[in-house]
Amino acid sequence: MERELALEFVRVTEAAALAAGRWMGRGQKEMADGAAVDAMRAMLDSVHICGTIVIGEGERDEAPMLYIGEHVGCADTPCVDIAVDPLEGTNLVAKGLPNSIAVLAVAESGHLLHAPDIYMHKIAVGPEAVGCIDIDAPIKDNLQAIAKATNRLVNDLTVVVLDRPRHAEMIREIRQAGARIKLITDGDVAPAVATAIPDSGVDMLLGIGGAPEGVLAAAALKCLGGEMQARFWPENEEQIARTQAMGVHDIKAVLTHEDLVHGNDVIFAATGITDGDLLRGVRYQGNRARTHSLVMRSKTGTVRFIEAIHRIDQKPLLKNLLARQE
């Protein structure tokens, strides 16, 4: 992929964030998600790619756009697979809580795992702790290995975990080991990425969350030089069958970020919707808006944080999308 595409993909996540941000704190997560989907889908058709959505808003009969298998872009080449989450953290936006983002990952055709919308057990760390984690090892052992690799004490480390009843034992073990915990209500892509960003305050992501979000996080960690291990966590036979139908034959296999995202030409882009550990949220000032985004490319290892000021009246597409919300 040409490097110029990186900025084009940032424009896509910016549009989704600008559209969804208007709904912050208004208690209408469906409206916020719909606005983000509309904006992202419209902007993708302006990008010079021949793209296929492999992780999106659901199957074709479940979503009007950005469904799995939908073709986007306005060119015949390059052929790419795209994973999207126009609004990661719908509840976060509806309640005005931190860490919601608009996010996508792009790789060459056939290089993103087609993950079904089921649970996945994940552990993620940054570059300093690569090679130190084992998803099957006791949590205490993983924390001690990370502390040793980063030349710190276990009680210096911060672990992000989704605040769910299924994680009660996991949380108990982390506390018993002496590490600090940051519990989040929704959205585990941003904290997974934050493990590999210096001074983010996040050292490890641990727990069971969405599999599609796992692929997005793996793409980011591949660009950042971090590490992720994962295992599908189906809840019933139907989910096992669906996962196998998508090409995953060994449900119990431990998957690395290299298994989730193949090759060395991956682009990851995200824009903050509400303020978070990784990105600041959208600011609106009359006819202007300010966004904070992150874009990175595995091929070069370049990581860019982009702050942009948008003149909404100079962007007909965005102006029309925002006008529908008034």
Q: What is the pLDDT along the chain (326 residues), one digit of tens a residue?
A: 888 899 999 999 999 999 999 999 999 999 999 999 999 999 999 999 999 999 998 766 567 899 999 999 999 999 999 999 999 999 999 999 999 999 999 999 999 999 989 999 999 999 999 999 999 999 999 999 999 999 999 999 999 999 999 999 999 999 999 999 999 999 999 999 999 999 999 999 999 999 999 999 999 999 999 999 999 999 999 999 988 888 888 999 999 999 999 999 999 999 999 999 899 999 999 889 999 999 999 999 999 999 999 998 887 777 777 666 66
Question: Which parts of the chain fold into alpha helices (H)?
Answer: 5-21, 29-44, 90-95, 139-149, 168-177, 189-194, 211-224, 237-245, 257-260, 316-323
**Residue partners of 23: CB distance under 8 A and separation at least 6:** 29, 31, 32, 35, 93, 94, 325
Q: List the Cα angle 48/295/68 in 5-degree steps.
A: 55
Distance CA 93, CA 26 (A): 8
**Domains present along the chain, CATH in parentheses:** 5-110+265-323 (3.30.540.10), 119-260 (3.40.190.90)
Using CA of residue 73, residue 77, residue 79, residue 85, what is the dihedral sign?
A: negative
